[in-house]
Amino acid sequence: MDFLTCISPLIENIGFPALIFAIWYLYHQSQVKAFEKIIENNFEILKDLLESNQYHAAILSRIESKIDSNMWCPVLKKEVS
């Protein structure tokens, strides 16, 4: 009840739509900050995934070169030598 008595003169002087706009603006600013944190976390995760993908590509390239030079299978390695 005390809260309503404090807001009552503000509503009479400024108007109810301005009060609603102020509440919406504060809510919007808090949501923008939350989304910025989420986006920042997503970029960190994507950076880590990119590094992981580059590592896997390098490993697969090494495996492919070993397969091409018949160094992968020990049986083939003995037959070729």
Angle between helices 2-14 and 16-68 (to 10 degrees): 100
Q: What is the pLDDT along the chain (81 residues), one digit of tens a residue?
A: 576 777 777 777 777 777 788 888 889 999 999 999 999 999 999 999 999 999 999 999 988 887 777 665 666 666 665
CA atoms of 3 and 63, how far apart (whole Å): 71
Secondary structure E strands in the chain: none
> Quick count: other Cβ atoms within 10 Å of Cβ 10?
13
Q: What pTM was estimated for this model as a whole? A: 0.50
37, containing H or E segment: helix 16-68
Half-sphere exposure of 25 (CA within 13 A, CB side): 6
